[in-house]
Amino acid sequence: MGGRLNNEIVCHFLYVLWLPQIFFKRSFYCCKNSASSIYTTRKTMSSPNRDEALIQICRKQFVPYSYTVKEFYDYWLWYYMWNEKDISYNTYMTYRNIILNYIDPALGTISLPSLKRKDLLQVLLRIPSPTVRKHACAIVSSSMQVARDKNYISCNIAMKITAEVNRLKRAEEQQLMDTYSARKRTVKVYSAAQLNCLQNICRQEKPSLYLPMLLATATGLRISELRALKYENIDFLNKYASIETQLGRTKISFCLFFLNKYYGRRKRTTIKKNLRNQDKKNKNNNNLN
């Protein structure tokens, strides 16, 4: 509690001592708390602290409260989000799990006015799942705005924190991809220039493989699916191919595969735009040569 007296800022600290009392009634007893004594102490701020407090009051940044992060999130989740905003039960449980698993263990004992932006960033960047991290950013952004509106903190330290977390996470992932172990785990794929060279070789030296190679690069189909592809399975107007079966398997294994994967549905693949005109490019290259 605080107040002003003779142009001085005076802080009053109220102490209430609660003592348990046990009373009996018929064949059972109950325990209750009662206030035994109340006393106050008075403390006058020093001149530098007083001037700083006056400046914060004029700027509407003075924080008369001191809560821990755990206490604030208990209030924010239950009283504000659940009672006032009337969020759904699934949303409540999602927010509760994120707060209990990530925010409270790392920041629960820190005083809310002394919380820094870097503390929030460290917690958010430690979350491995992108979906959970997205929800956690929403929790932090919303809760810090509520804390600022209710004057629990002097400024909103979580403003635009989602964009910063995404930027730092992309930089971290890029740095990990630059390491030797990450490059070693990367799947090797053909580049566009290598595919052009491979198709030109097939066209010149093995014409029977040219069309399957072109379809494989344009649709991403397997060899057994390409062998079963028919002319009527290709919709040239909408630019997609519908795969209904495969070839190249034994009768028993094919029936099992058909029942497990293709029963009652079709596989549809879209022909990529950058590879649809691959045949035309190869013909132009051959004409120039």
Render pLDDT for 162-203 as a digit per residue (tens, 0 to 9).
999 999 998 888 877 766 665 566 666 777 888 888 888 888
Position 40 pLDDT exceeds 70: no
Show me where the domains of the chain are located: 2-58, 69-175, 192-288
> In whole angstroms, how far apart are CA 186 and each of 58, 181, 183?
58, 9, 5
107 or 20: which carries more pLDDT confidence? 107
Count of beta carbons in the 10 Å neighbourhood of residue 77 = 19
Cβ burial 90-110 (10 Å sphere, 16+ → b, else e): eeeebbeebbeebbbeebbee
Closest to 111 in 3D by CA, of 64, 73, 67, 149: 67
Count of beta carbons in the 10 Å neighbourhood of residue 137 = 20
Distance of CA 15 to the CA centre of its chain: 43
Amino acid, res. 171: A
Most confident among 27-31, 144-148, 268-272 (mean pLDDT): 144-148
Mean pLDDT of 217-246: 77
What proportion of the chain, given as a percentage, has pLDDT over 70? 59
Terminal CA-CA length for the chain: 89
Mean pLDDT of 224-242: 78
pLDDT of residue 271: 52
- Asked whether the beta carbons of 248 and 191 are under 8 A apart, the reply is no
Going by pLDDT thresholds of 50, 70 and 90, the confidence category of residue 282 is low
69-175 placed in CATH 3.40.50: no
Packing angle of the helix pair 89-98, 130-149 (nearest 10 deg): 90
Position 12 pLDDT exceeds 80: no
pLDDT in tens, 105-140: 999 899 888 889 999 999 999 998 999 999 999 999
What proportion of the chain, given as a percentage, has pLDDT over 90? 19
Token pair listed for 224: 């057994």
**Residue 115: left (phi > 0), alpha (psi -120 to 50), or beta?**
beta
pTM: 0.45
